[in-house]
Amino acid sequence: MAHKEIYEHFHPDEKSFVDRAWEWVERAALYHEMKRTDFLDPRQAYILSSLANRNPDVQIRLEGGYPDAERRRALIAPDYRRLEDEDIGIVVLDIASEDRRVSELDHGDYLGAMLGVGIKRDLIGDLHVGETGCHALVVEGIGDFLIGHMKQAHRVDVSVSVRPLSELRAAAAQLEEQVLSVASMRLDGIASDVFRLSRAKIVDPIRAGRCRVNWKAEEDPSQPLKAGDVVSVKGLGRFKVMEVEGVSKSGRTRVRIGKFV
């Protein structure tokens, strides 16, 4: 169990993950154990890193299968272990189809197909969607199950094979850019413009805990955003604040937004 003062730095929703991460760190320090986690989102990776940094006898390595990975596995170990020699245990799941409609499938279709056959989200890393299919990074060992069970993605017949990381076909994140003129940098104001909803309609999901800013739950609609922030609202999508371009004569702020498509 983590010390009480540690919880003050994190959202109450994060308590169970903080406890797990703290236990991993303590076991590495006290019992010289090495732990290889499932995939962590950037917020979880941040929590784990900050807890590991509190203990001088512990080190961690984060690896997602390619340099710009968002979701990464962690190796947590005593400080004397050579972590660069350890296998991170990630393979590429190659999801392909000869059906022309495969070009219309998106990230959610492939993720939904994997979750639909019973794979936990924690076992799946980043997804790289292309015109003829998808390269998904997954925990080594679940490939055979998916080969046997995953036959469709959103009603399109697919075939699945496992490939080494060296064959990953990485796709750059597709961002649809737009410039907004906003009265302030408040979360609710910017999100309502990005998703083209009234301010009233965006406030409810934020207050209901369906919004994350930089992968951390955010329930305050008036929270100010800044350049670099990534915002996701369950059921609506996500966007990144690319740049705050300045203030106009009338006092409105120009903001460049990249919406993930």
pLDDT of 128 strictly over 70? yes
pLDDT of 2 strictly over 90? no
pLDDT at 208: 96
Q: Give long-range contacts, CB 8 A cutoff, 24+ apart: 37-40.
A: 37/73, 37/74, 37/75, 37/76, 38/73, 38/120, 38/122, 38/123, 38/139, 39/64, 39/71, 39/72, 39/73, 39/122, 39/123, 39/124, 39/125, 39/137, 39/139, 40/71, 40/72, 40/73, 40/74
pLDDT digits (tens, 9 = 90+) for 17-52: 999 999 999 999 999 999 999 999 999 999 999 999
Residues of the domain holding 140: 90-167
pLDDT at 173: 81
Q: What is the CATH number of the domain that holds 50?
A: 3.30.1370.160
Q: What is the CATH number of the domain that holds 214?
A: 3.10.290.10
pLDDT digits (tens, 9 = 90+) for 193-207: 999 999 999 999 999
pLDDT at 84: 93
Final residue of a structural domain among 132, 167, 202? 167
Task: Provide the mean pLDDT of the chain.
Answer: 95
Work out the percent of the chain whose per-residue pLDDT is above 90.
92
Final residue of a structural domain among 60, 84, 108? 84
- How many domains would you assign to the chain? 3
